[in-house]
Structure 1
Amino acid sequence: MNRRTRKTLLNVATGIAVAATAVVVFLPAAYAAPGTVTSNVNVRSGPGTNYGVVDTVRRGTQVDVQQCEGSWCYIAKPGPDGWISSSYLSAGGGSPVNPQQPGLSFGFSTGPGGPTINFGVGQQPQIQPPRPPRPQPPVVVQPQPTFGEVCFYDRTRFRGESICMDSGESTRNLGDWADRISSIDNPDGLQVQVCSESNYRDCRTYTTSASSLGDFDDYIVSVRVR
């Protein structure tokens, strides 16, 4: 790609970023971005200091940034989830977060099969071509040994009724338990994939316990435990 073409594409990407500053950036569940807490900070029930404190998160904790509103971002982590000021977050690779437009620092996708535009403080936007599909190996179904257990609860903080699954178990449709799960107890650190649709579509993976599930709360239909 010559320099003139690259410059044109970068100008297009910059225009998209300017247009995006007029709205609050919400990251869909499937595109929630990783972040790192840069200082010990209170976790609040809403996007502002006038909301109550629900927990405290320590410096260096890895979190799942699900959405940003103003200069605040909603994070999912071990323990109670909630809102923290974006000034206490860094994006992937340790990049600082723009407190005025924090959502842009965590990136978003332009659509299925299209290019991905990443915005970050201190770096130029880049437009990447779509990756070719990887060849898929044949599916071989084999029984797997049990190394641990995961329990799912119909209320936050591991309360209420529960169902449990062993490592290697899965269900394409939870039936009576569809859209009921609100917290996950995963003491053995198994890889737990929860999906908002049947047949494992629109999924998120947890490797720790989660006392609340953010926008996946009461929105899980299929589950795999590995």
Structure 2
Amino acid sequence: MRLFTRLLSALPAAFLALSLSLSPASALSESGTLAWSTDPLTLREGPGTAYDVTGTIAADLHIKVLRCQQLWCLVDGDTGRGWTDKNNISFGKTSADWPGGINPDYPSGGTACFYTGSNYSGLEYCFSSGRVIRDLHLAGLDNRFNSVRLYGTSVAACRDRFFQSYCERIIESQPVLDQYLQGALSSVRVY
């Protein structure tokens, strides 16, 4: 009788696991960082070539990055989920190489002022051209900025430290940062 009771109590968890594994792969995760496949992605069960291949995602498709290690990222796309080589992912608004294709006409040589509030309000932190901050946490400024005013320059801004995850090349002042950077900025480069 005790064995039968244990089996019955394990059925809901087993049913949930089975239903999740049968859910359509075409639904992107609600969480994760928006990105693009720059080349065809080979999906694997784990982070490395020793793991079995579980599927592929074609090049130039919108994906979500759920988490990354040093060289591999767990991604979710229309055709499946799995670990893939980080070098084949673009963390920008387009599938072009980050930061969305360098445009020689982007302004450079000025100052960028970041604000903790929207519409250039709150505390102000200004950085001159050439300033690179790979990890705003080390300066006590991680995830604090909500707007940026540019004076004759442009800025590379990324959601994660060391210019990873979602990145954007900002070429004009923004009273409210992009939804993926607002209150989530972790690395900046002022041109």
Q: What is the TM-score of this pair, normalised by structure 2? A: 0.45
Task: Report the TM-score, using the length of structure 1 for normalisation.
Answer: 0.39
Q: Which has the higher contact order (CA 8 A, sep 6+)?
A: 2
Decide which structure has greater helix share.
1
- The structure with the larger Rg is 2
